[in-house]
Amino acid sequence: MYDIVSNVMHIKLSPSYVELLNSDGGMSQVRHVVLVLSGKGGVGKSTITTELALALRHAGNKVGILDIDLCGPSIPRMLNVGRTDVHQCDSGWVPVYTDAEKSLALMSIGFLLEDPDEAVVWRGPKKTALIGQFVSDVAWGELDVLLIDTPPGTSDEHLAVLDNLKKHRLDGAVLVTTPQAVSTGDVRREITFCKKTGVRILGIIENMSGFVCPHCSECSNIFSKGGGEELAKLTGSIFLGSVPLDPLLSTSLEEGKDFMQSFPDSATFSAISSIAQTLLSSIQTS
């Protein structure tokens, strides 16, 4: 297998890996593929991707995350797998598994950097080439859902992943926003992007919807409220739900811990679980 990445940067790839994968490589055994999009940075898109993956896994699904945010790969740290080598088998690159049961798989450029502080200073063609390899040359094996975490906006990475997914079934996209008008305005452009490229909008998630007090658990609206739900109504999209700002969630992400396992009695857990179940029902019945 020709490795385009080796021409552009030093990576950590082991030449062989003893792994019995009942797969012919790529995404042939991935049942559902979902893009996670945002119109702007800082809305917590990677947080939502990570927590949706954990919620789906705890519900008994095999889940994968493909992190194509090439310039800001944060999900490996959120899942506490930041310093892991990528191996190869006959079918391609073996994803990094975050648990012993191999129910949550992850692939990210963060695993391919010699130095985690190294900046990825690439033009479009190099990004497109790597995304092509990520889509076609990762041996995901059998997955119920593959979540693809994208960078903000509607740029080369988004077009590259859509082009490479043409031979696979893309279920659609989840859009993440915060309540403020400046964020929902950017998501409007993301909705236009989806319509122009023929991507089904599975729903809108409003993140940072209120602040959960760590002492009394009361939720206060420090930002405006309901922007995501109103946007869903105006654009005819499904509103999947709201996720509050929760210090327990922030701490879990910083420490690479599983929030969904640690705080099953929290309101944030209920919100994320409900969104994950609604999303799963939507793609299973489509």
Judged by DSSP in three states, 224 sits in coil
42 labelled binding-site residue? yes
State the amino acid at position 40 in one-letter form.
K
64 labelled binding-site residue? no
The rounded distance, in Å, linking the Cα atoms of 125 and 169 is 24
User: Which residue has tokens 């922030």?
Assistant: 250
213 labelled binding-site residue? yes
Please report, for residues 106, 134, 177, 189, 273, the alpha-carbon distance to residue 195 in angstroms, rounded to integers and kept in the order given: 28, 25, 18, 10, 28
State the amino acid at position 99 in one-letter form.
D
46 labelled binding-site residue? yes
Please report, for residues 114, 143, 151, the alpha-carbon distance to residue 239 in angstroms, rounded to integers and kept in the order given: 41, 26, 22
40 labelled binding-site residue? yes
The rounded distance, in Å, linking the Cα atoms of 150 and 157 is 7
203 labelled binding-site residue? no
And the tokens for 219?
């939720």
- Binding region: 39-46, 213, 216
| Residues in binding site for [4Fe-4S] cluster | 213, 216
Which residues make up each annotated binding site for ATP?
A: 39-46
